[in-house]
Structure 1
Amino acid sequence: MTNASGKPALTRLYARLVVSDGPRAVDFYRTALGAEEIERYTGPGGRIVHAMLRLGDALIAVKDAGDGDPAPPALGGSPVILALDVSDADAVAEAMLRAGATVVHPVADQHYGQRGGRLADPFGHLWMISQTIEELTPEQIQRRTDESFTS
């Protein structure tokens, strides 16, 4: 399959989260974010080699560390932030905290029209939780961003 320019077509994109305890991670995402497990494949000892989860309209995969795939703690953390748009940032953050996440930046109103914050899940992955509280144009967001750096 190719796209209009004759290049191979992109058919799907999802994050693949490497974790230290796959079954516990799947349970965390199910409890904290309402994830639905679509499929799971395991190797020796029950290690997850691939579990696909649906979070709303999004997909993420989870796998246990190993086979050359390190979990974030083995790397000193994760440079990737998963952005999760939700209808109630406070409620989602609270559910994540109850399930074992920690606060990186508390949920608060942001200058760019979002209410949100950043949490780390128990496996070292970073989640930016946000909800729209104010509809702004790109120009308004840029003006407010510029002002936030000069204040």
Structure 2
Amino acid sequence: MGLLAHGLLKIGDSFVMVADEFPPDFGCPDALSPTTAKGTTFAIHIYTEDVDALYQLALDAGCESIFEPMDAFWGDRYGQVRDPYGHHWAMATHIKDMTGEEMAQAAAAEFSGAPTD
């Protein structure tokens, strides 16, 4: 049938197991892609040295942009893509250490529409 049953992706020092979607008659009801299941409930999150380069690499490999990398209120440069199977991949580069108070202030400003510094 030509389906990948077990694939191993190594990202940094971590591994993610992946497989192709299997038809329901294969007896694997949990082997559906988010596209077939009509949505996903999570994103795989990756920290990288250069989020902009990783984002572009993902687009070049066939992913669709959910949103371009931006400087997020919590101190990361952060973006997301959707792969051809519907999985969401979040990616970030940490750019600024923040105290809890600074993060709370930045979040309040973000969600109130007020400018941030």
Structure whose residues are more often strand by fraction? 1
Identity %: 26
Which residue pairs with 1:105 in the alignment? 67
Distance 2:43 2:71 in 1: 19
1:49 is the counterpart of 2:11: no
Q: Secondary structure at the match of 1:49?
A: coil
The gaps in structure 2 that reach 5 residues or longer are 23-27
Q: Secondary structure at the match of 2:5?
A: strand
The AA in structure 2 aligned to 1:53 is: L
CA RMSD of aligned residues (A): 1.2
The AA in structure 1 aligned to 2:40 is: S
The AA in structure 2 aligned to 1:90 is: D
Q: TM-score, normalised by structure 1?
A: 0.66
Which residue pairs with 2:100 in the alignment? 138
Q: Secondary structure at the match of 1:52?
A: strand
Q: Secondary structure at the match of 1:93?
A: helix
Post-superposition shift, 1:90? Answer: 0.4
Distance 1:72 1:59 in 2: 20
Post-superposition shift, 1:139? Answer: 2.2
1:82 is the counterpart of 2:50: no
Distance 1:82 1:57 in 2: 15
How many pairs does the alignment contain? 107
Which residue pairs with 1:147 in the alignment? 109
The AA in structure 1 aligned to 2:17 is: A
Distance 2:61 2:48 in 1: 17
Distance 1:112 1:53 in 2: 28
The gaps in structure 1 that reach 5 residues or longer are 1-44
Q: Secondary structure at the match of 2:103?
A: helix
Post-superposition shift, 1:46? Answer: 3.2
Show structure 1 runs of 4+ deviating over 6 A. none
Q: TM-score, normalised by structure 2?
A: 0.84
Which residue pairs with 2:35 in the alignment? 73
